[in-house]
Amino acid sequence: MDDRRILHELSRHEALRLLAGVAMGRVVFTQRALPAIRPVNHILDQGDVIIRTSLASSVADTVIRRPDTVVAYEADLIDPDTRQGWSVVVTGIARLVDNAQDRTRYEALLRPWVQNQADGVLRIRPDIVTGFRLTPPD
Amino acid sequence: MDDRRILHELSRHEALRLLAGVAMGRVVFTQRALPAIRPVNHILDQGDVIIRTSLASSVADTVIRRPDTVVAYEADLIDPDTRQGWSVVVTGIARLVDNAQDRTRYEALLRPWVQNQADGVLRIRPDIVTGFRLTPPD
C-alpha cells in the first residue's frame, strides 16, 4: 500500500483561514542564538496573530529586549494515522501589545491556560505566510 | 469556571518517553537568521531523535551547509478543549546520517510521508530536554 501523500502549497488566504480555525500553535524564536519553541493559544485579529504568554517566558523576554524580533508561528492539524492534514507557518515581527484598549480586548478573547502567571499579549504581523496540505494521491 | 491549568515540569526521562510515544513533531531551526519550523515524523533510537526529511528541504539544506547546526525538536499532545496535555522540546546538534547501515535501518522504520521527494535522515542529539504537562488544579 502506498501511503505517501501529495503536498499542495496553500495560498496566503487559505493558510490564514486554516490558522484562524484552530485554537493553538507554536511560537518559534531565537534565544541566545539557539532555536526555541513554545506552544501557546492564539486568535487572529485583522490579519495579525495574537498570542498570550507569560511575561516571564522566554519569548516575551526576547521580544521585550529586542523590539524588532522576528518570530515564526506554526499551527498544524495532521492525523498521523491517515497522514492527511495541513501545516501553516507565519513569519513576522512580534511586538508586545501595550495599547490598554487593545490589551483589554485581547485579554477577554484569549484566556491564558496556565495558572498563577502574570502574562502579556504579543502581536505577530504575518509578513511571510506559507503552508501545505497533504492529500492522498488520486 | 476556572479552566486554568497547573504547569508541571517534566523530567528528561519522562519527556523522552512521551516523545517516543508519538509519531510526529516539528523541527525548528534558523535559516538565513530567521526562525523556521517544519512538521516531520520521527522515531527515537538510543536516545537520539531520528527524522526523515526531503533533502531539498530547508532543514536538510541548513544541516548539510553547517554541520554543527543546533536545532530544536518539539512534539506535543494538548487538547484545546480540556486544556490538558504535554509538550516536549529537545535541543541539540543535528547531523545527516551518512552511515549506510544506519540509513537503511532508519529508512525501514521511518516511512516518508510525501511522495516524489528524495529524502535524507537526520539525527538530533538531545543535549537539552525540557517539557511540561498541564493538569487541572486540585
Q: Which residues contact B129 (CB under 8 A, 6 or more apart)?
A: B12, B15, B16, B88, B89, B90, B91
Closest to B49 (Cα-Cα) out of B113, B110, B138, B2: B110
Find the range with the poorest average confidence among B5-9, B35-39, B58-62. Answer: B58-62
* Inter-residue contact A23 to A98 (CB < 8 Å): no
Instruction: Note the pLDDT tens digit of each residue in B55-100.
Output: 656 777 777 777 788 999 999 999 988 889 999 999 999 999 989 9
Gap between the Cα atoms of B6 and B121, Å rounded = 37
CB atoms within 10 A of CB B102: 14
User: Residue A56's pLDDT band (boundaries 50, 70, 90)?
Assistant: low
Average pLDDT value over all residues in chain A: 88
CA distance A60 to chain B (A): 15
Gap between the Cα atoms of A57 and A40, Å rounded = 11
Gap between the Cα atoms of B12 and A124, Å rounded = 31
CA distance B100 to chain A (A): 23
Instruction: Note the pLDDT tens digit of each residue in B99-113.
Output: 999 999 998 888 877
B114:A71 CB<8 A: no
Q: Is B56 left (phi over 0), alpha (psi -120 to 50) or beta?
A: alpha
Is the pLDDT at A1 greater than 70? The verdict is no
H helical segments located in chain B: 12-20, 58-65, 100-109
Average pLDDT over residues A33-56: 88
Q: What is the ipTM of this complex?
A: 0.88
Instruction: Note the pLDDT tens digit of each residue in A93-107.
Output: 999 998 999 999 998
Cα atoms found within 13 Å of the Cα of residue B87, Cβ hemisphere only: 21
CA distance A46 to chain B (A): 23
Average pLDDT value over all residues in chain B: 88
pLDDT at residue A2, as a whole number? 63
C-alpha cell at A60: 516575551
A78:B111 CB<8 A: no
User: Residue B117's pLDDT band (boundaries 50, 70, 90)?
Assistant: low
Q: Between B70, B112, B114, which is nearest A35 by CB?
A: B70
Average pLDDT over residues B40-65: 83
Is the pLDDT at A60 greater than 80? The verdict is no
Residue of A nearest to B133 (CA): A114
B24:A78 CB<8 A: yes
Query: How buried is residue A100: exposed, middle or buried, by Cβ count under 10 Å (0-12/13-18/19+)?
Result: exposed
In order of start, what are the domains of chain B with their CATH numbers?
A: 12-135 (2.30.110.10)
Higher pLDDT, A60 or A47: A47
